[in-house]
Homo-oligomer: A and B are copies of this chain.
């Protein structure tokens, strides 16, 4: 599947809020004082490092909402690989608006491209294994939809979008229910027909209990590589296997080599560094 863009109705409120946050009560004092009203500029969004782009629609919208006379011509699509000096988009028109929207556009583009790039590098690191890299609900408050999109742009997959679209039984749920089997039975009795059930297991006994109750997926949390491999063998295709727990770019390949189906990584959305992108004025 090619990457599906998010509808404008979904991203526009985020861009409007970000612009208002930056404009404050009086707008761009500096630019309004220094740049003549009619001054035209030709600029480009240019990558300063290697990575994968995500967030072009948000950046474009930031410029257009500040001044509809600004023309943004994208030079690549979300999901594209970029490199230092490569133009991502051309931005032309009234210089005032371009300068006023610049930071908001770059804040979105850098943040989301950072997530896409981090995802892509881990996806590449586990290439050749069956492991799919997925993100978690450890997202930046307010930005979940676009951060999960950025993970997709980087070639990763999404885990749950929220508390309401799947059942993920965590260790504390298990403890309160009095065991993996009890928790699974309660969930099975109540779950809708389109909702899958995943359960976190901390050891192989719990894993067998989960399989016995027909869990759709098992979250193998904080297991070492040896135990992960044994878990995969035990499951033997009867459920989706997911490894999680402090996964980093460095530890991912070895985890993938154990044969798990999924590796979920909170780091992708809560700690991936920004991709350095700048706005260059052309001569």
Which chain A residues have a beta carbon within 8 Å of chain B's beta carbons?
1-2, 4, 6-10, 14-37, 39, 41, 65-67, 95-97, 99-100, 103-104, 106-108, 110-111, 114, 132, 134, 137-145, 148-149, 157-170, 172-173, 175-177, 183, 186-187, 189-196, 198, 216-217, 240, 242, 246, 261-262, 266-267, 270-271, 273-274, 276, 279, 281
Copies in the complex: 6
B10 touches A137 (CB 8 A): no
Set B65, B159, B191, B274: member contacting A9, Cβ < 8 A = B65
Given A23-B9, A138-B274, A142-B17, does the pair A158, B66 have CB atoms closer than 8 Å? no
Cα distance A54–B234 when bound, in Å?
43
B164 touches A161 (CB 8 A): yes
If over half of A's interface residues share one DSSP class (helix, strand or loop), that class is named, otherwise mixed; here it is mixed
B33 touches A191 (CB 8 A): yes
A142 touches B145 (CB 8 A): no
Given A143-B141, A176-B39, does the pair A6, B27 have CB atoms closer than 8 Å? yes
Residues on B with C-beta less than 8 A from A246 are 276
Could you say which of A41, A99, A270 has the most chain B C-beta atoms within 10 Å of its C-beta?
Answer: A270
